[in-house]
Structure 1
Amino acid sequence: MKKHLVLCLTLCPLALYAADISIHFIGLNDELTENVRAHLMQRKDDDAYSVRRRLVSAVKDGIKPFGYYRPRVKIDLVRADSGDVTSVNVIVDPGERIHLTEPHLNLQGPLTKETEFDLAVQQIPKAGSPLLHSDYEQFKGSVQALALELGYFDGKFSRHSLKVSPREGTAYWDLAYDSGKRYKFGKVSFQNSQIDEAYLRSLIPFKEGQPYDYNTYGDLSRKLTETNWFGSVVMSMQFDKARQDPERVLDVDVALTPRSENLVETGIGYATDIGPHGKLSWTRPWLNSKGHSLTAATDLSPEEQEFEFNYKIPSQSNPLSDYWALQSGYKYSTLNDTTSSSTAVSAARFQLLDSGWTRKISVDWLYDNFTQGSDSSNTQIIYPTLSFSRTRQKGGVLPTWGDTQRYAISVSNTAWGSDIDFVLLTAQQSWVRSLGPSHIFIGRWSAGWIESGSFDQVPPDLRFFVGGDLSIRGYDYESISPKNDKGELEGGSKMYTVSVEYQYNVTGNWWGAVFFDAGQSSHEFDFGDIKKGAGFGIRWLSPIGLVKLDLAKAVGDPTEDSWKIYFGLGGAL
């Protein structure tokens, strides 16, 4: 039996992990034990190894990366009364740990003057620190990665070794590195583009002769993709040519594949605010060589049916952040106490400013045949609008930091053909902050004010209604506003809402949430009758985005005593 056991362990080292024979490492911490086991599992079948030599070798190789070079190993086979081996005890005295002396470094080239390189050098362990092979490999890897990121493609280590003296218990790094010249951006060539090259060149985020930077290089691909003109963007650099150039000028080739001329998207969903709804959209991502695009979309639900056309005209100087949008649409709504049939046309220019804000200047024409409560009217209005908006965030689908802001003013006047005069002001802001990886705090507020001497002719879409998922949870969607003598909603001329929410990471992609909302829609800024709601919910980071489920109840309102359920997709910003 003994000969059979030794033969089996020699030829089949994985049998050491079988249910009937276990290995116990004594004298090693969890980190060392885990690495030793990993080395043992990697051993190949080799008749030259006995089971004892195999274990001793695994121990030595497993603890050496942590600075233990002179261990003492004892192996005991634990047997049952029958004489069969039931377990193996590997008793290890790792010995004294190797410590580092001053490194021998010869680092040359312009890369060594970069701030990022200085930060990497500062991470080199000081003399007297315990030896860790991972520190040595990590430093070399960080230098090589930094060289690739900043364009030092000729950089190399002419000497790299870790000198260890087990008898003296010391070690030192011996490295010689020369970064060589930094490469520069050269000419950019576009192939197979259906869009005029002038539009593409305005997207290039670098100039010829500018030092290479990986992030800047990647920005070109990102911007080309964001235009929605191309199905694929493949970039390559002419290294062979650049290495023959003393100035190391690196030309870039961009191979483009035009996107399909027609894109159709369909969707069916359910939102607690408006119930079931279906969507259908048709997009021409590019209509001509100027990059114009067209989208037609419809969104249908039992209480709202909407059709919209959007024609986009990008500027040649900056197609992504400076463009015109021509829109037209029709909407029919029977929500709450509203019956509205409206047609709208607008022309707007969007510009991303250097400050990070997006400025929108638009002129809208709206004709609405509506009944709102006891108000009925056929109203035509023409109103220019100026708005500024900005969104900043970190953290992806579930932001851990960020804010979004939007401020707008619209003006209507009979002097230019409107049926009524008004001034409309709106403002809204949301912010997200986190405390550690498990705590997220969300705040939100909004306010609006429309001043008009003919409020009974103001279309419902320009009046203020609050309540629902994005304003005051605990109430139905847009169910809060002034009411007429019959108890019908008329919409307010003034509005404000505030909300606070706390989210906690329960486990993995699941978060819990508690929240409190408050606000009002009225004809005066009346703080004596504030509507309030509170509740709790869950958040799930799903493959399709953030899924939200909330349960809320009105606070201090005897007319609203039932719990409301809200289900939706999307984050706080």
Structure 2
Amino acid sequence: MPDRRNIKLRQKLLLWSAWLVLMVGWAGALQAQTPDTSPATAPSSQRLAFDIEIQAPSGVQDYLQRHIELQRYRELIDLDATELARLLTAAERNLQDLLGTLGYFSAEIRLLVLDTPQNPKAARHVVITVQPGEPVKISDVTIEFVGPISQDDAAQAQRAAIRETWTLRPGMTFTQADWDGAKTRALRLLTAQRYPLGAIISSRSEIDPDTKNARLGITLDSGPAYRLGPIQISGTQRYDTELVAHLARLNPGTDYSQSLLLEAQQRLTDSGFFDAVFISLDTAGDPMGAPVLVQLREAKLQKIVLGVGGSTDGGARLSMEHTHNKVPGIGWRATSKLSLDRETRSLGTELTAPPDEAGWRWVTSALFQSQVSGSSDVNSQRYRVGRMQAGERIDRNYYLQYDRAETAGGSESTTANALSANYAWTLRNFDSLPFPSSGYGLGAELGGGTTLGSSREPFLRAQGRWLGLWPLARGQAGTRSSSRAGRIAVRAEGGMVLARTGAELPSTQLFLTGGDTTVRGYAYRSIGKELANGEIVAGRYLAAGSVEWQRPIVVNDKLTDWESTVFLDAGAVADKPSALRAQVGVGAGVRWKSPVGPLQIDLAYGVEVKKVRLHLSVGFTF
């Protein structure tokens, strides 16, 4: 019979063995789930085979530090001395190639490996010393043309533009990046006009390290000259091809121009009839009449837009706009809008006909408005019918207009009616919209008519406005220097109404100024003719202007989307030119290039009223 003590001992050994097996299995499972952090596979931040120190001029040092291939092998901690020596030999060739892209072809390069015998586990130290020497200078540039562009007199200006805008000139330092960029720009200018199939058939850069000179040459093959052919439209269901052709305005027989296609694409997109537009040239066809392919996706027939906004002129604003792109029966577009803010409540509707071949379209509209105007409350109606033409740079508009205004201010209320014929013209010549940095805009309106009250009195109304932007740095606008120097913006506005002294004119035909976009430091439309009782009413003459210095804000030597500004505004309204007395506002502010347009935040001091006002507005319009 076995000894009970031996049985108990064997049972304990079995239990301990089972527990040990479980612990080993559990530890193995944990090891499978836990990343291996042993020294052999440690991340590069904890263990490196070697580190690299590059001693070179700052610009060269940064470039080599980023692009040297030796960086890729720092984590191979099992490198022996022979393998490292082979890598350093290859690194010297790589450094020579990198320096060549910067224009240095006779650089002195030294590589030194410092071991750490006191700590064998420490990373070895690779010291690279580079003396780049004198960079290679461009001694000669040859630009040649083959194909029709070389013989066509009509392409003389295009050839001259490619040569004049070539960015690498004799005497400049040669770099590979500049060389690639110059070739790309030349090809872009070639294919942007008349020759869409243009190509670079050869380019050469002959480098002489002894004389440190570079001879550059490029040959451009234009391929055949193309002219626009018939428009081939796809994707229309609701609108006929005539509407698309009138909006695109791409006349067959016109020389091909990439800008023409882009402008046509933009017109179709801005029309509101289409959600997506893509225009291309079919170069497989006859070059003298290559088809223009217009692919469209139509917008919805109707849409409603709800808006929430605000400004310091009118406070919070709510709006609702309904658009019907093709009213049954007449085929015109109808747009109706309701807008409410602290100062103005308006309801308007407009009917617009499709454009004709020249871009002219018939327009009729009605507007009902209640507005705080100076010291008065004005309820007005306006009905208009006429024609308009909207272009990329010039807008024209002529129309008949009926005005009715009921003005209630103080103890006196008046009602006036007028009928007038008007012409409006606007020119926009800015470098870019909605964030212009140079250029100018000019607008003028001229109208004449008669009052329709108990006595009919003729009147003449004229108004003009101008905005000019001048970069402060010399050179082409949009360059680094001009962008950082900022610009000066000058704005001027004037208006007059000529009529008999006692003529009762609707206040909507007269002038008031002051507010976010006119004379800052004063309330919206608070500058006008002052009556004996202190009330402010609209006047017959207006003069206003502004000078503003706009300068970009730079952070860590990089341009931001913000600008700072200081400004001086002035404006006056009166019934006689001799009675005009300027009211001045001065201040400073910031601008932000927001996704919906320029956001303006200004703090202005009104010298006349001795008050500081905050002004907020969004968008650029002229």
User: Same-fold call, TM > 0.5?
Assistant: yes
Q: For residues 528 and 328 of structure 1, do their structure 2 counterparts lie closer, same or farther at Cα, with a shift above 3 Å needed? A: closer
Contact residue 442 and residue 572 of structure 1 kept, 8 A = no
Letter in 1 for 2:619: G
- CA-to-aligned-CA distance 1:142-197 (integer Å, 9 cap, x gap): 44334432354554555555556768977655766543322332221112323332
- The secondary structure found in structure 2 opposite 1:202 is helix
- Give the superposition deviation at 1:531: 1.9
Contact residue 423 and residue 446 of structure 2 kept, 8 A = yes
Q: Over aligned residues, Cα RMSD in angstroms?
A: 3.8
- Give the superposition deviation at 1:311: 0.6
Residue 618 of structure 2 corresponds to: 569
Contact residue 188 and residue 254 of structure 1 kept, 8 A = yes
Instruction: Give yes or no for the alignment of 1:196 onto 2:240.
Output: yes
- The secondary structure found in structure 2 opposite 1:198 is helix
- Give the superposition deviation at 1:327: 0.5
Q: For residues 351 and 255 of structure 1, do their structure 2 counterparts lie closer, same or farther at Cα, with a shift above 3 Å needed? A: closer
Instruction: Give yes or no for the alignment of 1:34 onto 2:62.
Output: yes
- The secondary structure found in structure 2 opposite 1:228 is coil
Contact residue 209 and residue 249 of structure 1 kept, 8 A = yes
Instruction: Give yes or no for the alignment of 1:530 onto 2:570.
Output: no
Contact residue 99 and residue 130 of structure 1 kept, 8 A = yes
Instruction: Give yes or no for the alignment of 1:550 onto 2:593.
Output: no
- The secondary structure found in structure 2 opposite 1:509 is strand
Equivalent of 1:299 in 326, 335, 339: 339
- The secondary structure found in structure 2 opposite 1:474 is coil
Equivalent of 1:65 in 95, 101, 104: 101
Letter in 2 for 1:214: Q
Residue 279 of structure 2 corresponds to: 235
Residue 399 of structure 1 corresponds to: 436
Report % sequence identity.
19
Instruction: Give yes or no for the alignment of 1:346 onto 2:366.
Output: no
Letter in 2 for 1:61: D
Write the distance in 2 (CA, Å) between the matches of 1:323 and 1:550.
39
Write the distance in 2 (CA, Å) between the matches of 1:227 and 1:105.
42
| 1:110-509 → structure 2 map (5 Å cutoff) | 110-112=148-150, 114=155, 115-120=157-162, 123=166, 132-156=175-199, 159-160=202-203, 162=205, 178-193=221-236, 194-239=238-283, 241-242=284-285, 247=287, 249-287=289-327, 292-319=332-359, 322-351=360-389, 357-413=394-450, 420-436=457-473, 437=483, 438-453=485-500, 457-507=504-554, 508-509=560-561
Q: For residues 95 and 511 of structure 1, do their structure 2 counterparts lie closer, same or farther at Cα, with a shift above 3 Å needed? A: closer
- Give the superposition deviation at 1:455: 5.1
Contact residue 417 and residue 452 of structure 2 kept, 8 A = no
Please, which moves more after superposition, 293-302 or 64-73? 64-73
Write the distance in 2 (CA, Å) between the matches of 1:207 and 1:92.
60
Contact residue 78 and residue 85 of structure 1 kept, 8 A = no
- The secondary structure found in structure 2 opposite 1:37 is helix
- Give the superposition deviation at 1:249: 4.3
Q: For residues 491 and 18 of structure 1, do their structure 2 counterparts lie closer, same or farther at Cα, with a shift above 3 Å needed? A: farther
Residue 11 of structure 2 corresponds to: none
Letter in 2 for 1:406: G
State the aligned residue count: 551
Write the distance in 2 (CA, Å) between the matches of 1:384 and 1:418.
19
Write the distance in 2 (CA, Å) between the matches of 1:230 and 1:209.
26
- Give the superposition deviation at 1:347: 0.7
Write the distance in 1 (CA, Å) between the matches of 2:379 and 2:366.
14
Q: For residues 283 and 17 of structure 1, do their structure 2 counterparts lie closer, same or farther at Cα, with a shift above 3 Å needed? A: farther
Q: For residues 195 and 417 of structure 1, do their structure 2 counterparts lie closer, same or farther at Cα, with a shift above 3 Å needed? A: farther
- Give the superposition deviation at 1:481: 2.5
Letter in 2 for 1:423: L
- Give ranges in structure 2 of 5+ residues lacking alignment: 1-39, 474-482, 555-559
- Give the superposition deviation at 1:111: 2.8
Write the distance in 2 (CA, Å) between the matches of 1:73 and 1:230.
61
- The secondary structure found in structure 1 opposite 2:529 is coil
Contact residue 140 and residue 170 of structure 2 kept, 8 A = yes
Letter in 2 for 1:426: Q
- Give ranges in structure 1 of 5+ residues lacking alignment: 1-10
Specify the structure having the higher radius of gyration (Cα).
2
- Give the superposition deviation at 1:479: 1.9
- Give the superposition deviation at 1:477: 1.6
Contact residue 464 and residue 491 of structure 1 kept, 8 A = yes
